[in-house]
């Protein structure tokens, strides 16, 4: 029984460590990446517009990383495989309308006189 308690404590410690690493990566590392990318862009271009665009792009990426599970779940709900609408019950056969060639039209080129 003592071994089971040690195993449970080890699992809890591992989960806590994983949570702390995730906070470190999403908080500290992402903010450093945002700052560094803006500084590098400013040094290369000396452009306020380019640095601002880099800041907006980095913040958008940071937001996407912070809300990855929300985006993952919403994509599964809105995008269907193959781009087709979801299959509902009992789709019947397609209806085809055959049109005879119009009088006076060339052979082989069907058409309808309106």
Q: Residues 66-98: pLDDT tens digits? A: 887 777 776 655 555 555 555 555 565 666 677
Is 90 a domain residue?
no
Q: What is the number of structural domains in the chain?
A: 1
Is 55 a domain residue?
yes
Is 89 a domain residue?
no
Is 54 a domain residue?
yes
Is 88 a domain residue?
no
Is 72 a domain residue?
yes
In this predicted model, what pLDDT tens digit does every residue of 3-62 receive, in sequence order?
A: 777 778 888 888 989 888 888 887 888 889 899 999 999 999 999 999 999 999 999 988
pLDDT of 1 over the 80 cut: no
- What is the rounded CA–CA span in Å between residue 114 and residue 107? 18
Q: Which residues contact residue 37 at a Cβ distance below 8 angstroms, ignoring those fewer than 6 apart?
A: 54, 58
Is 76 a domain residue?
yes
pLDDT at 52: 94
Angle separating helix axes 30-45 and 48-66, nearest 10 degrees: 160
pLDDT at 23: 84
Is 69 a domain residue?
yes
């Amino acid at each position: 029984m003592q071994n089971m308690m040690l195993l449970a404590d080890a699992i809890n410690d591992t989960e806590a460590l994983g949570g702390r690493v995730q906070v470190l990566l999403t908080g500290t590392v992402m903010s450093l990446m945002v700052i560094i990318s803006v500084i590098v862009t400013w040094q290369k271009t000396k452009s306020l517009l380019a640095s601002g665009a880099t800041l907006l792009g980095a913040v958008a990426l940071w937001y996407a990383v912070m809300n990855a599970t929300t985006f993952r779940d919403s994509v599964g709900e809105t995008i269907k495989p193959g781009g087709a609408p979801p299959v509902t019950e009992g789709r019947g056969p397609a209806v085809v309308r055959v049109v005879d060639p119009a009088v006076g039209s060339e052979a082989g080129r069907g058409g309808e006189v309106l």
